[in-house]
Chain A
Amino acid sequence: MTHRKPYEFEGPAPDAAVYWTSLDDFTLQQSSDPAARDHLAEEIPRTALDFSDGVSRRGFMTLMGAAVALATLEGCRRPVDKIMPYARMPEDVAVNVTSYYATVIDRRGESLGLLVESHEGRPTKIEGNPDHSASHGKTDLLAQAAVLDLYDPDRARQPSTRGEDKRYADAEAALQTVLQAQAANGGGGLRVLAQPTNSPTFVRLRQAVLRRFPNARFHTWSAASTSNDREGAKLAFGQVVLPVLSLERARVIVSLDSDFLQTETGAVRNTRGFAMGRRPGEEMSRLYVVEPSYTITGANADHRLRLAAREVELYLQALAGQLVRAHSLDLGEISAAVRNAQAPQGVPAKWVEAVASDLAAHRGGSALVVGSRQPATVHALAHAINQALGNAGQTVRYIAPADRDEVDHGTDIAALAEAMGAGQVQALVILGGNPVYDAPGDLAFGEKLGRVPASFVLSSHRDETAERATWHIPRAHELEAWGDGQSLDGTVSIQQPLIQPLFQGRSEIEILALLADAPSPRGHDLVQETHRGAGVPAVIFNRAWRRALNRGVHVEAPNNPALPSIQGGAVAQRMAQRQAGSPIGRSNLEVNFLVDAKVLDGRHANNAWLQELPDPVTKITWDNAAYVSPATAEALSIGNGDMIRLTKGSRSVELVAWILPGQADWSIGLSLGWGRTKAGRVGNRKGFDVTPLRSAGALWFTDGVALTKTGATYPLSQTQDHFRMEGRPMAVEATLAEFSETPNFAARRSPTPRTLPLWREVDYSTGYRWGMTIDLATCTGCNTCVVACQSENNIPVVGKEQVSRGREMHWLRIDRYFVSPKSHGSDRDVEATSDPAVAFQPLACVQCEEAPCENVCPVNATVHSPEGLNDMSYNRCIGTRYCANNCPYKVRRFNYLNWHNDGVYQPEDADVPETVRMQMNPNVTVRFRGVMEKCTYCVQRIQGRKIEARRADNGRGRHIRDGELMTACQQACPADAIVFGDLNDRESRIAHLHRDDRRYALLGEIGTQPRTLYLAKIRNPNPEMLG
Chain B
Amino acid sequence: MSFDAPIKAIGEKDLVAPKSTFKSITEAVSRVTENPAPKGWWIAFLTAFSFTGVLLGSIGYLFWRGVGVWGNNSPVAWAWDITNFVWWVGIGHAGTLISAVLFLFRQKWRTSINRFAEAMTIFAVICALIFPGIHVGRIWHAYYLAPIPNQMGIWPNFKSPLLWDVFAVSTYFTVSLLFWFVGLVPDLATLRDRAKNSLRRMVYGFLALGWRGSNRHWQNYERAYMILAALSTPLVLSVHSVVSFDFATSVEPGWHTTIFPPYFVAGAVFSGFAMVMTLLLIARSVFKLTDLVTMTHVELMNKIMLATGSLVGYAYAMEFFVAWYSGNEYERYVFINRATGPYAWAYWIMITCNVISPQLFWSKRLRTNIPLSFVVSIFINIGMWFERFVIIVTSLHRDFIPSSWGYFHPTLIDITTYMGSLGLFFTLFLLFLRWVPMIAIAELKSILPEADPHFGEHHDEAHEGDSHGEPALATSAEGH
Residues in chain A within 8 A of chain B (CB atoms): 1-2, 4-7, 45, 48, 63, 66-67, 70, 73-77, 720-728, 730, 802, 805-808, 813, 815-817, 841, 843, 852, 855-860, 876-882, 884-886, 888-890, 892-898, 902, 928-932, 1002-1003, 1006
Contacts and interface: CB of A to CB of B under 8 A. Distances in A.
Main secondary structure of the interface of A (DSSP, over half): loop
Interface stretch (B38-46, B211-219, B397-405): B397-405
Nearest to A807: B73
A884 B72 CA distance: 12
B249 to A, nearest CB: 7
B66 A66 contact: no
Contact of B402 (A63, A76, A725, A878): A725
Nearest to B75: A890
B252 A886 contact: yes
A525 B263 CA distance: 80
A807 B67 CA distance: 12
Contacts of B149: 7, 63
Contacts of A7: 149-150, 153, 155
A860 B155 contact: yes
B76 interface: yes
Given A7-B153, A892-B74, 16 more contacts: A70-B146, A730-B402, A806-B407, A808-B74, A859-B154, A860-B155, A860-B156, A876-B144, A878-B136, A878-B141, A881-B72, A881-B78, A881-B135, A888-B399, A896-B66, A902-B65
B151 A884 contact: no
B452 to A, nearest CB: 49
5 smallest beta-carbon distances between A and B, as pairs: A879-B137, A930-B137, A6-B153, A896-B68, A806-B73
Interface string B148-175: 1111111111011111001000000000
B157 A815 contact: no
Given A726-B402, A894-B74, A859 B137 contact: no
Contacts of A843: 401, 403
Interface string B247-277: 0011110000000000000000000000000
Contacts of B330: 728
A1002 to B, nearest CB: 8
A724 B137 contact: no
A879 B136 contact: yes
A666 to B, nearest CB: 30
Contacts of A723: 402
B66 A897 contact: yes
Nearest to A873: B154
Give the one of B136, B333, B405 with max A CB within 10 A. B136
B78 to A, nearest CB: 6
A896 B71 CA distance: 10
Give the one of B67, B76, B160 with max A CB within 10 A. B160
A856 B78 CA distance: 14
Contact of B148 (A67, A726, A931): A67
A874 to B, nearest CB: 10
A890 B399 contact: yes
B137 A888 contact: no
29 contacts: A2-B159, A6-B153, A63-B148, A74-B140, A75-B140, A720-B403, A721-B405, A722-B398, A722-B402, A723-B402, A728-B400, A728-B401, A728-B402, A852-B251, A855-B160, A856-B159, A858-B163, A877-B138, A879-B138, A880-B132, A882-B78, A884-B74, A888-B252, A888-B399, A890-B399, A894-B137, A896-B72, A928-B138, A930-B138
Interface of B: 63, 65-69, 71-78, 132, 135-146, 148-157, 159-163, 166, 246, 249-252, 329-330, 333, 396, 398-407, 409
A1010 B244 CA distance: 27
Contacts of A1006: 251, 400
Nearest to B153: A6
Contacts of B150: 7
Contacts of A930: 66-67, 136-139
Contacts of B401: 728, 730, 815, 843, 888-890, 1002-1003
A895 B66 contact: yes
Nearest to B81: A881
A73 B145 CA distance: 13
Contacts of B161: 856
B250 A886 contact: yes
B74 A893 contact: yes
Main secondary structure of the interface of B (DSSP, over half): loop
B252 to A, nearest CB: 6
Contacts, number: 210
B162 A880 contact: yes
Contact of B251 (A75, A807, A886): A886
Contact of B403 (A63, A66, A730, A898): A730
Contacts of B251: 852, 886, 888, 1006
A852 B250 contact: yes
Nearest to A881: B77
Nearest to B395: A885
B191 to A, nearest CB: 33
A1 B157 CA distance: 10
B407 to A, nearest CB: 7
Give the one of A67, A841, A896, A932 with max B CB within 10 A. A896
Given A858-B145, A894-B137, A1003-B400, A929 B162 contact: no
Nearest to B150: A7
A930 B62 CA distance: 11
B400 A859 contact: no
A744 B46 CA distance: 70
A876 B154 contact: yes
Contacts of B396: 885
B59 to A, nearest CB: 13
B166 A858 contact: yes
B362 to A, nearest CB: 39
Nearest to A5: B153
B403 A929 contact: no
Contacts of B74: 806-808, 884, 890, 892-894
A807 B162 CA distance: 23
A882 to B, nearest CB: 6
Give the one of A67, A73, A885, A928 with max B CB within 10 A. A885
A1006 to B, nearest CB: 6
Given A843-B403, A878-B136, A856 B249 contact: yes
A890 to B, nearest CB: 4
A235 to B, nearest CB: 45
A502 B153 CA distance: 46
A857 B250 CA distance: 11
Contact of A878 (B78, B144, B159): B144
Nearest to B73: A806
Given A856-B161, A879-B67, A930-B138, A817 B403 contact: yes
A571 B3 CA distance: 111
B160 A806 contact: no
A951 to B, nearest CB: 29
Contacts of B156: 858-860
A66 B148 contact: yes
Nearest to B143: A70
A858 B67 contact: no
Contacts of B137: 877-881, 894-896, 929-932
